[in-house]
């Protein structure tokens, strides 16, 4: 009996390790093929299809970071706007999406006169990588993308950072870094407060499992695989250092990234800011719930901080 009882902790530890490894692969492993019907692979009758087709037909360039390194290269689409050479939008996609999944957002900005750069994050789209980093390492690539934009378009430009879901978290995570002065505003849509907080919420909401003991082990695995613990991947911590005007958007009925995280993010920054909780919108559906108002609110916000922005036309 004593021997049996002494074996219980070891068995529990093994079980925790197996469960944590499964959870890590489930949450962090890249998705190699976009599901049929998604924004990256829409059906012809889908609401996503017109903007997806617009992007396919739009003249664009393939940009790369680390292009010759097959294990570390990162891809982006550069969509130049012939109507205006002073405004640029850097657009960040969501979890297990890719650049093409942001076609509607790209068109929104393009139609407003912005040149658009649309990266594929690490382990997404045409970029290399096996495991998703939830924006924490992607933000470092986006800082490099900013430099490439400046090299291509010159110093007299005005840049907006925009992201949805994981992309929203990514641009918030950028906000605490040393951004070039050409970055005039940030717009984040339904981004999470931190990687650890989001995964803890997901664990409880979808699997009815507590944070302990699995999450610390998952964090340790990520430290080995990607080089950082989950607690370090914090939008809130970065927002404490943010000085760039930022607009927070979140769906009222978001149960994937809970709306409470939007309030947490909003409170974290002392920079000029605004917030819109979109009635009846679920996760990453704020634009599709109220596309006209969404576009108008973004434009009104940008008019305050982007000198090249033109006022919205009255209805």
Q: Is residue 283 part of a domain?
A: yes
The domain of 67 spans 46-204+230-305
At residue 96, the pLDDT reads: 97
Q: Is residue 77 part of a domain?
A: yes
Q: Is residue 121 part of a domain?
A: yes
What is the domain count for the chain? 1
At residue 7, the pLDDT reads: 37
- Contact predicate 191/251, CB 8 Å: no
- Each residue's pLDDT expressed in tens, for the chain with a length of 315 residues: 443 333 334 334 557 889 899 999 999 999 988 999 999 999 999 999 999 999 999 999 999 999 999 999 999 999 999 998 899 999 999 999 999 999 999 999 999 999 999 999 999 999 999 999 999 999 999 999 999 999 999 999 999 999 999 999 999 999 999 999 999 999 999 999 999 999 999 999 999 999 999 999 999 999 999 999 999 999 999 999 999 999 999 999 999 999 999 999 999 999 999 999 999 999 999 999 999 999 999 999 999 999 999 876 655
- Contact predicate 252/259, CB 8 Å: yes
Cis status, amide bond into 17, omega within 30 of 0: no
Closest CA relative to residue 63, chosen from 49, 79, 48, 83? 79
At residue 313, the pLDDT reads: 65
Tell me, letter by letter, the H, E, C secondary structure of the chain: CHHHHHHHHHHHHHHHHHHHHHHHHHHHECCCCCCCCCCCCCCCCCCCHHHHHHHHHCCCEEEEECCCCCCCCEEEEEECCCCCCCEEEEEECCCCCCHHHHHHHHHHHHHCCCEEEEEECCCCCCCCCCECCCCCCHHHHHHHHHHHHHHHHCCCCEEEEEEECHHHHHHHHHCCCCCCCCEEEEEEECCCCEHHHHHHHHHHHHHCCCCCCHHHHHHHHHHHHCCCCHHHCEHHHHHCCCCCCEEEEEECCCCCCCCHHHHHHHHHCCCCEEEEEECCCCCCCHHHHCHHHHHHHHHHHHHHHCCCCCCCCCC
123 contact partners, CB below 8 Å, separation of at least 6: 30, 129, 130, 131, 132, 133
At residue 204, the pLDDT reads: 95
At residue 14, the pLDDT reads: 55
- Contact predicate 284/190, CB 8 Å: yes
**Residue 146 burial (10 A CB sphere; 0-12, 13-18, 19+):** buried
Give the CATH number of the domain where residue 60 resides.
3.40.50.1820
């Amino acid at each position: 009996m004593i021997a049996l009882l002494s074996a219980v902790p070891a068995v529990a530890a093994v079980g925790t390790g197996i469960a944590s490894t499964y959870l890590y692969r489930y949450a962090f492993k890249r998705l190699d093929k976009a599901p049929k019907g998604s924004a990256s692979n829409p059906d012809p009758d889908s609401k996503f299809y017109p903007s997806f087709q617009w992007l396919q037909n739009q003249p664009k360039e393939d940009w790369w970071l680390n292009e010759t390194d097959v294990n570390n290269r990162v891809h982006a689409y550069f969509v130049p706007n012939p109507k205006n050479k002073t405004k640029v939008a850097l657009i960040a996609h969501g979890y297990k999406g890719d650049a093409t999944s942001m076609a509607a957002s790209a068109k929104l900005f393009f139609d407003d006169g912005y040149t658009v750069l649309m990266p594929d994050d690490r382990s997404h789209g045409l970029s290399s990588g096996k495991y998703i980093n939830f924006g924490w390492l992607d933000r470092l690539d986006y800082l490099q993308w900013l430099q490439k934009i400046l090299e291509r378009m010159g110093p007299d430009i005005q840049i907006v950072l925009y992201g949805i879901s994981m992309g929203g978290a990514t641009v918030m995570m950028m906000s605490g870094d040393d951004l070039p002065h050409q970055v005039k505003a940030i717009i984040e849509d339904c981004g999470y407060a931190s990687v650890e907080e989001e995964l803890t919420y997901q664990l409880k909401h979808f699997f009815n499992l507590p944070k302990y003991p699995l999450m610390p082990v998952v964090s340790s695995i990520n430290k080995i695989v990607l080089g950082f613990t989950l607690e370090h991947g914090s939008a809130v911590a970065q927002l404490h250092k943010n000085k760039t005007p930022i607009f927070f958007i979140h769906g009222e009925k978001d149960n994937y990234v809970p709306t409470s995280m939007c309030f947490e993010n909003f409170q974290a920054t002392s920079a000029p800011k605004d917030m819109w909780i979109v009635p009846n919108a679920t996760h990453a559906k704020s634009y599709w719930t109220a596309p006209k108002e969404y576009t108008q609110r973004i434009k009104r916000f940008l008019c305050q901080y982007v000198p090249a922005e033109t006022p919205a036309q009255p209805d």
